[in-house]
Amino acid sequence: MPLAPTRSSTFPGAGEEVSSPDGLSGTVPRGIAVEVHDVTVAYQRKPVLWDVDVSIPTERLVAIIGPNGAGKTTLLKAILGLVPLASGDIRILGMPPRKARPFVAYVPQRESVDWDFPVSAMDVVLMGRYGRLGWFRRPGRKDREAAVAVLDQVGMADLAGRQISQLSGGQQQRVFLARALVQEARLYFMDEPFAGVDAATEKAIVLLLQRIRASGGTVVAVHHDLQTVPEYFDHVVMLNTRLVASGPTASAFSPENLHRTYGGRLTLLDQAMEAVRRSATPGASE
């Protein structure tokens, strides 16, 4: 594993991170973003994740897919240290999750918060700086500039002062993304970033994810729309309480694995198969 000192210099303790100037051209994973080792999570004694063992490479767009109740969100929260593990071990960039926090950004499900909360889009984005600010300190001019820059990146610069309940679903999702971006993290964990957003926002988000990957970041997203998996993501983790498969989309996102993940839900599968076929045919997707 070759070591490149470039972007890592500002992040002590992340030496194994490798930057590649040609982005995603290679197929061999050059670094490990997340290692999940034998993880079991249970709510009220009922296992939600059972003995999951998976490793996620860096500089990839990774989709976590699986049927409802498969434990997708739980896996994300387990990696972030938000739910207690019944057993197992998780390492992020080779570190325990607690130590990796400065390198990790989280985009929760949009419905998980009260959008009538008295804050503006700008206020929410600034929350992304709280972690690095530490106790008692307030966001300063630099933080505001960073917040304005990311709001501009997600196309929300002119809505910075607007109260969050006055934003559309797509705009709210963009604000959440901006809050993660302003953390300047290496790893982005997103819980259904495309849920309930309009087509324009979906396109904008995809471009944003690709930009994160191009600058050496990794995105792990819970994703629902099987049709878009091959187009948007280059790595999949297929989950149904147990890990079914994990690997590059080109090989892992196969009809057999989909069958094993989703069981008999055929209409859903047909759509997915269609997507697999399309992605297999050169020129069918961009």
Residues at the contact surface with another protein, assessed by CB under 8 A: 44, 77, 80-82, 101-102, 104-106, 108, 112-114, 117-120, 123-124, 127-128, 130-131, 133, 135-136, 138-139, 162-163, 166, 179, 183, 189
CB of 242 to another protein, least distance (A): 25
Nearer Cβ to another protein (94/102): 102
Nearer Cβ to another protein (189/233): 189
Residue 24 is classified by DSSP as T
Which residues lie closer than 8 Å to 36 by C-beta, 6 or more apart?
52, 53, 54, 55, 56, 75, 78, 79, 88, 90
CB of 37 to another protein, least distance (A): 20
Nearer Cβ to another protein (43/203): 43
Residue 62 is classified by DSSP as E
Closest Cα partner for 188 from 126, 104, 125?
A: 104
DSSP string, 225-244: -GGGHHHH-SEEEEEESEEE
Cβ–Cβ < 8 Å for 219, 213: yes
CB of 80 to another protein, least distance (A): 5
CB of 117 to another protein, least distance (A): 5
Nearer Cβ to another protein (179/245): 179
Residue 278, token pair as written in the block: 């399309």
Counting every residue written for the chain, the total comes to 286
- Helix, strand, or coil (residue 27): coil
Nearer Cβ to another protein (183/261): 183
Nearer Cβ to another protein (187/237): 187
Residue 123, token pair as written in the block: 């206020």
Residue 147 is classified by DSSP as H
Cβ–Cβ < 8 Å for 66, 238: yes
CB of 63 to another protein, least distance (A): 20
CB of 256 to another protein, least distance (A): 35
